[in-house]
Structures are given as structure tokens and as C-alpha cells.
Amino acid sequence: MKNVVWIIGGSSGLGREVAEQHVAIGDHVIISSRNQRDLDELCAHIKHSYSGVAQSFVVDYATIVSVETARSCIQTFKHQYPFPNVIYFLAGSNDENDNGLNAASTINQVLQNNFIGAIHLMNEAILASKNERLRIVIASSIAAARPRGKNIAYSTAKKALEQYCFGLMHALEKKDIAIQIVRFGYLDTRLSYGQRLPFKAAKVGVVAKQVMKLAHRTSGLYYLPKFWFVITLVVQAIPFFIFKKLKF
């Protein structure tokens, strides 16, 4: 049986690749992002490039500020599309000003776009699934492994998201709902574009295939590309008096 797949944050980067690859294998794909035009353009591209069809549904984490807004979003979705059995929460954003003593607005925005919006939507999606089989993939970041002077609010939001998901894994242990947390290393997206990185950014096409395989595994924390597990271990083991001198 083909999957119904909902990709939140699917109009560009890794999300776009995941969407295209799911359509390529015949899954029913619904793509969400903040901008209707971006979604229409990607859906048109998918329609012409693959034999399958992708549909669009606008979601903006910035507007999912409460249980009510999340519930309304899920209800609207259910009216339009069949309920998915795989959901990717890949949306998120960082802020160039998130580099130290941030303004409250920056902190709020980064937390909203990377944590609050995602958990509200995830909660409501789980409730709406009515204990049917559901696979959830959550995008985290290696930034969550060890905070540093840059992207403080972002790494905090991702760590909080991970913690929340671990809690859900425990709570949903007896149900057929699996949650995969994926800590992504450097990916070749606009975020890494032009940066002098200590490790090569992975191609999103390759990573997308690995993410799709993970979706059907048991709940857990994964690293993509996989070698980032080793790098994270090393980074976490560095004493703070050395870590504080590192620039990356």
C-alpha cells in the first residue's frame, strides 16, 4: 500500500528532495510551507517531472501559537486530504541576529519557528490519527548537541524539540506511532551556501533517501550523514576551556 506523506517544510532544500522522491515511488504527497506560490511552483514541477502528483497545503509555524491554532490547521488539512501515515516536520529557520544577547523578539521568533509551532502541530496530528499507524520524522540539528555562541536560541529550540519528542516516544510506546529525531549535519542548502565549513556539506538528494528509510524504523535519535555521530561525540567530549576557544 502506498503511503500518504505530509511534508512540512517541503518547498525547498531537503524537504523538496524528500517530496520528489516520495512522489517518484508513487506515494501520495502533500507539501506544506509558508508560501502558496512556492508550493504551486513545486507542485507544477513534480507534476511535469514525475508520473505522480503532489498537493499543497500552506502551514506557517509562526501562526501555530496555541493548541487551538494547531487544531484548526489539522482540521482544515483533514477536510482537504486523507490523513497521512508519515509526517515530516522539516520546517525551521534560524536568524542571523541569534548570536549572543538576543532581543526578545529574536528569541521568541526562533523558538516559535523551531519548537512551539512543531510541537503543537505534532500533538494535534497524533491526536487526530486516532491511534492509527503513524510515522513522524522530526528535523533536529547538530547544533542541539552542544550549544555555542552562535545560534543560541536555535540550538535551544532544537534541544527542547528533541526532549519533547523523547517524552512523546515514552508516552506513545504502546501505540503504533514511531518518532524519529534526525540530527542533520551540514547539508548543501542555502544555509550552508558559501560557508567555509570544516566538513563537506552533504547533497540533499542523498540525505533525502536516507531520511525516507529512517521513517519506517523504530523511534530513536539518528544522525545524517551518519559520521556526524562520531563528530558529535568528539565535540561533546571537548573540555569547555578548549571548546570556548574553538571557532566554528
Partner 1 sequence: MVTKQVKIISFDQTEVLECESIRPENSSELLKLKGKSLLARGAGLSYCAASASQESIVVDMSSMNKILNFNPDELLVEVESGISIGELNNFLLKKGYVLPVLPGYPTISIGGCVAFNVHGKSNFQSGTFSSLVQEFKILHHSLGELKCSVYENEELFNLTIGGMGLTGIILSVKLSFRILPGGKLRFQRVRCSNLIDAVRIMNDSASQHEFVYSWNNLNLQGEKFGGGFVYLENFAAGILKTTNYKNKLNPLFRSPIHHSDFSIRCMCQIYSWIEGIRSEIKTVELDQSSFPIYNKEIYYQLFGQKGFREYQMIIPISQVEITFEKIRRAIAKHNVSVSLGSLKLFNGKSMHLRFDGEGVCLALDVRNCKSAMLFFQELDMISLECGAIVNLSKDSRLTADMISKTFPEYEIFKMGIKKYDPDGMIKSVLKTRLMLEV
12 binds partner 1 (CB under 8 A): yes
Q: Minimal CA–CA distance to 15: which of 187, 186, 145, 179?
A: 187
DSSP 226-248: TTHHHHHHHHHHS-HHHHTT---
Contact assessment for residue 70 and residue 64, using Cβ atoms and an 8 Å cutoff: yes
113 binds partner 1 (CB under 8 A): no
105 binds partner 1 (CB under 8 A): no
Q: Minimal CA–CA distance to 97: which of 151, 140, 149, 159?
A: 151
Between the CA of residue 70 and those of 49, 74, 176, what are the distances in Å? 33, 6, 22
Among 101, 130, 174, 195, binds partner 1 (CB under 8 A): 195
**172-191 positions binding partner 1, by CB under 8 A:** 189-190
45 binds partner 1 (CB under 8 A): yes
Q: Minimal CA–CA distance to 182: which of 120, 137, 146?
A: 137
Nearer to partner 1, 47 or 244 (CB): 47
Contact assessment for residue 11 and residue 35, using Cβ atoms and an 8 Å cutoff: yes
CA 58 to the chain's CA centroid: 16
11 binds partner 1 (CB under 8 A): yes
68 binds partner 1 (CB under 8 A): no
Minimum gap (Å) between residue 96 Cβ and partner 1: 5
Among 2, 26, 41, 243, binds partner 1 (CB under 8 A): 41
100 binds partner 1 (CB under 8 A): no
Among 24, 34, 221, 232, binds partner 1 (CB under 8 A): 34
- Residues found near partner 1 in the complex (CB under 8 A): 11-13, 16, 34-35, 37-38, 41-42, 44-45, 48-49, 96, 189-190, 193-195
